[in-house]
Amino acid sequence: MNSAVPQTEDAGAAASARPTDVLGTSAAQARSAVLEELIRKDPGQFRVLTGDRPTGRLHLGHFFGTLHNRVRLQELGVELFVVIADYQVLTDRDVADNLLQHVEELVLDYLAIGVDPARSTIFTHGAVPALNQLMLPFLSLVSVSELNRNPTVKDEISHSRQSAVSGLMFTYPVHQAADILFCKANLVPVGQDQLPHLELTRTIARRFNDRYGCGKAVFPQPDALLSSAPLLLGTDGTKMSKSRNNAITLAATADETARLVKGAKTDSERHISYDPATRPEVSSLLLLAGLCQGRTPEQVAADIGSAGAAALKKVVTESVNEYLAPIRARRAEYGQDRAHLRAILGEGNERARAVADATLAEVRAAMNTCY
């Protein structure tokens, strides 16, 4: 794998339009379009790292936002690393509850959607000491005011369940940079909220290379790849989130799905139309059915016409259950053999450790800390 993303003329133009500090969403979108073209031409140039916090089962918001993008990239021939970010759970709570169970649930979700452990690497922070060790030199490369400015961290602090904000909350984006850079990933498929972390990762890579690289780039400056799917709302019309009980998980049964959709918020207008600005709840349901059917939400709305919210919910339930049936079947199958599941994670951890050890050795050599 070549760690430097090839730059085309277009890529150069998109990059120069990018503000130096904060990567704007529109610049990231323009860059993502360029990247898609490069991926199609030469997937072998790319290594992807992405991941999730093990706090519960993944849901359809995760799936259409980022998960299916990972599998798509894998199928295009891009090398994929997926981190189960166990240390990151401790950013906004004192104790990470049921960690082992949540880690296994994530592995199950990944396997169910088609992450192939023969080609892709699934691992946890906790099992890769050399990754964590990168955090120390990386911390020395960022200022306290840069950490203070991170809008995603600010938002998480305002929703935190802790009475005091921990040092890990402020510094986890640096740890996330270590997640990405330990394997020299050059592509990170993320949602918009992760863009500040990506920008920090690029800054750290650049500063490390400038300070210690002796003219050679030790780390690539990874690109964000934004998903093109619009945001799905939860069944109550607010952000889909497992803590709000408004999320359809990949693992939910067909009956649970039907119940959740039945209780979903709609509006009193009988004619069903797609208009996210004025009818956010109905539109999100149409979007969900459309994503599952591989059609536009407008087409789904046209089918239903004036049949009302009950008809819409029936279509949504059937579409989701049909779409998820093979994923759920695969999940159930993998779930029957916990030992196999643990073995898959063990192999992923081992692979990640080898990569992290090699990168740490390079970092120590660059920093003159080989004694």
Q: Which residues bind ligand TRP (CB under 6 A)?
A: 49-53, 83, 85, 88, 176, 179-180, 188, 190, 194
Of 224 and 248, CB closest to ligand TRP: 224
Of 196 and 290, CB closest to ligand TRP: 196
| 348, amino acid identity | G
Rounded to an integer, what distance in angstroms lies between the CA atom of residue 371 and that of residue 363?
13
Of 183 and 285, CB closest to ligand TRP: 183
C-alpha pair distances (Å), 225 with each of 4, 167, 322: 15, 29, 29
- Buried b / exposed e over 177-198, threshold 16 CB at 10 Å, is bbbbbbbbbbbbbbeeebbbbb
Shortest distance (Å) from residue 194 CB to ligand TRP? 6
Q: Which residue is nearest to ligand TRP (CB)?
A: 85
Please, which residues have CB within 8 angstroms of residue 251's CB and are 6 or more apart in sequence? Answer: 57, 105, 108, 109, 112, 328, 331
Shortest distance (Å) from residue 229 CB to ligand TRP? 16
Rounded to an integer, what distance in angstroms lies between the CA atom of residue 26 and that of residue 14?
10
DSSP letter for each residue of 193-249: GGHHHHHHHHHHHHHHHHHHSTTS-SS--PEEEE--SPPPB-TTSSB--GGGT---B
Of 192 and 266, CB closest to ligand TRP: 192
| Distance from the first to the final alpha carbon of the chain | 30
Shortest distance (Å) from residue 189 CB to ligand TRP? 8
Shortest distance (Å) from residue 80 CB to ligand TRP? 12
Shortest distance (Å) from residue 190 CB to ligand TRP? 5
Rounded to an integer, what distance in angstroms lies between the CA atom of residue 240 and that of residue 103?
21
Structure tokens, 131: 């990754």
Of 78 and 83, CB closest to ligand TRP: 83
Shortest distance (Å) from residue 349 CB to ligand TRP? 15
Shortest distance (Å) from residue 120 CB to ligand TRP? 14
Of 131 and 258, CB closest to ligand TRP: 131
Chain centre to alpha carbon of residue 248:
17
Of 52 and 104, CB closest to ligand TRP: 52
